[in-house]
Amino acid sequence: MRWRDIGDLTCSVARALSVVGDRWTLLILRDAFLGVRRFEDLQADLGTTRHRLADRLRKLVEHGVLERVRYAERPPRFEYRLTEKGRDLYPVVVSLTRWGDRWMAGSDGPPIELVHRGCGRQIMPTLACPECGERVGARDMQARPGPALRKRWDGSPPRRSREDAR
């Protein structure tokens, strides 16, 4: 399978990666959540080429993750703002931040701290069950076929061994 075809899989992770699975795209999203909106500012912060940045921004706009909004008439200037679809990626960026802070931070510690505006406290958001409020991790969850896979399998999933499930 070619990378450009990854979005055709019946898999939400693969489909999401077809839009945001590039390192530059994730860094653009990080900057957008930090309030960086203008092309020149994004380029200066990321240090990438104009062509690469323009390509990633075009793709994010095309997929409805960012919107291109005019902020000056003469000369025409635009900025990139997160849409609702883009803001829904916040937990992804926070999860990567949390992982990076735990496993990749240098001796000086994490580069940023997240502060909850409501109470002013530094926090690191965690996953929790919306029903009971209990914190959840990979070992607390199980995956089962959703509507798309049940339809595809006509109600009978293929048999998998315990080895395959790992």
- Across 22-26, 38-42, 157-161, least confident range: 157-161
Q: Is 94 within 8 Å of 125 (Cβ atoms)?
A: yes
What per-residue confidence (pLDDT) applies to 97? 94
Give a yes or no: residue 56 inside a domain.
yes
* CATH code, domain carrying 1: 1.10.10.10
Same domain, 38 and 102: no
Q: Which tens digits make up the pLDDT trace of 105-134?
A: 999 999 999 999 999 999 988 899 999 999
Give the global pTM: 0.85
* Residue 23 banded pLDDT, cuts 50, 70, 90: very high
Instruction: For residue 88, give every residue at least 6 positions away whose Cβ sits within 8 Å of its Cβ, in sequence order, or none.
Output: none
Give a yes or no: residue 164 inside a domain.
no
Same domain, 67 and 95: no
Give a yes or no: residue 166 inside a domain.
no
For residues 2 and 15, what is the distance between their CA atoms, to the nearest angstrom? 13
Same domain, 101 and 119: yes
What per-residue confidence (pLDDT) applies to 76? 92
Among 85, 111, 145, the domain boundary falls at 85
Give a yes or no: residue 95 inside a domain.
yes
- Percentage of the chain with pLDDT > 70? 93
| Residue numbers of the domain that contains 29 | 1-85
Count of structural domains, the chain = 2
Same domain, 75 and 106: no
